[in-house]
A and B are shown apart, each in its own frame.
Chain A
Amino acid sequence: MKYISEFRSGELARKIAEEIAKAVKPEREYRLMEFCGGHTHTIFRYGIPDLLPPNVRMLHGPGCPVCVLPIKRINAAIELALLPNTILCSYGDMLRVPGSAQMSLLKAKSQGADIRMIYSPAEAIKIAQSETDKQIIFFAVGFETTTPPTAVILDQANNLALKNLFIFCNHVLTPPAVKGILEPARQAGRKVLDGLIGPGHVSVITGSKPYESLAENYQVPITISGFEPLDILQSILMLVKQINTGSHQVENQYTRAVGAEGNKKAQALMAEYFELRDSFEWRGLGEMPFSALKIKAQFKHLDAEQNFPLSEAAASGSKLCGKIVGDNKACECPAVLTGQKKPTQCKLFNNPCTPENPLGSCMVSSEGACAAYYAYQPMS
């Protein structure tokens, strides 16, 4: 496959790994965080940790939208799916995420809820047009990469005056998540990472500029990276070089897809339909101001949250079906999502938490750090 296989050459990977080994200073540690779950997946799939010197450590970040969505939003989606005369459309990775009281969208489906797994938001429009006697709710999740396609269907639904399509908006933003990791550490007087592998496909939309103030404020070098193994190795080399010289610039390794300004057309469409939420809860990072998007008030006829008031239980996250809402107490997803613990340091990892029976969100999504460890790490 052109523009994929060339970026997976084992020979070149070993060559870049040798350059990394030559560049690192043995007396110091290099703690690098890859923000994206997609990067985590590549790192383990291609055995990148085995190619790195022992003093270069990869920490896994919160860049998995499925993983960071708090349990109350999952409960809300389940509640919406169980409404009469309703079809809930969802990306596949959300279906098995555990909600409260051992519920999930998949279990709601087995109880008779009409839940359709879709690959593209465009399918939600088609379903709304063919099933006119039903209300269609699209469970929209994702970072800035996935937000523009949702904006496109909002625009289409608005222009076509569709009366039966609603969006349950859970789109979140990456810069606040990076800040959510770096700011508490700064306040505690600690430096938790020496370099950041920045999001690649988010930056296709936003451009590399939004990261400049983060690099400056927190004195941390950032390299926007592609998702193939050679991309990641080169990004690690670029970060090591910056760290050695004490530099903290935003560099762009993924030049074939990312520019400084990003996709203006997508940005304009997002700005037309979405505005910032005052606050949004993230699993692992807690409530963060201005960290997520909601549908603008003028389009409230398309907003599921405005048209189907959620029960207090789902809205506040306190109780559902009479049971206390909460994650499994032993689940270390919050610490894993912020790079403080490895999946293998969680008591539940591998027994009983597995991809077939996930107890925490990081095991559900194939991009979650726990799922990546489970799939690719040799079991000791």
Chain B
Amino acid sequence: MCLALPVKVEKMLEDDLAIVELSGVKTTISLALVDDVQVGDYLILHVGYALNKLDQEEAEETLKLFAQDDS
């Protein structure tokens, strides 16, 4: 039920809508719950609505942490 996936913004549309790419498929979603979205941003998509922006720097940090040797 709380399934949400990262999607990339391809094109901004009117009325708080945007076209995003989700696993190679382009789909229209609502940006009603988020502000300051730009083309190229990654969003967390749930039931057709972006819930938040994905923080790309934090994602890289988490990936680095996985690869680090634990001391």
Contacts and interface: CB of A to CB of B under 8 A. Distances in A.
Given A149-B48, A201-B46, A257-B55, A234 B65 contact: yes
A139 interface: no
A64 B5 CA distance: 17
Interface residues of A, number: 55
A253 interface: yes
Given A2-B6, A2-B8, A121-B47, A146 B66 contact: no
Contact of B30 (A141, A152, A256): A152
B34 A263 contact: yes
A307 B3 CA distance: 31
Nearest to B33: A266
B54 A257 contact: yes
A66 B61 CA distance: 34
A201 B44 contact: yes
Interface in B21-71: 23, 30, 32-35, 42, 44, 46-49, 51-52, 54-56, 58-59, 61-63, 65-67, 70
Contacts of B13: none
Given A4-B6, A143-B2, A263-B33, A255 B58 contact: yes
Contact of B58 (A22, A200, A256, A365): A256
A152 B1 contact: no
A119 B44 contact: no
Contacts, number: 125
B59 A3 contact: yes
Given A149-B49, A255-B61, A38 B3 contact: yes
Interface string A29-41: 0000000111000
A216 interface: no
A377 B23 CA distance: 27
B65 to A, nearest CB: 7
B59 A199 contact: no
A146 B54 contact: no
A230 interface: yes
Most buried by A among B6, B32, B42, B63: B32
Contact of A122 (B4, B30, B66): B30
Q: Which of the listed residues A3, A37, A146, A365 has the most CB atoms from chain B within 10 Å of its own CB? A: A3
Interface of B: 1-6, 8, 23, 30, 32-35, 42, 44, 46-49, 51-52, 54-56, 58-59, 61-63, 65-67, 70
12 contacts: A3-B42, A6-B63, A15-B66, A37-B2, A65-B2, A119-B48, A141-B1, A145-B4, A149-B49, A227-B3, A234-B62, A234-B65
Given A15-B66, A64-B1, A205-B52, 9 more contacts: A7-B63, A9-B66, A19-B70, A93-B1, A122-B49, A152-B49, A201-B46, A255-B58, A266-B51
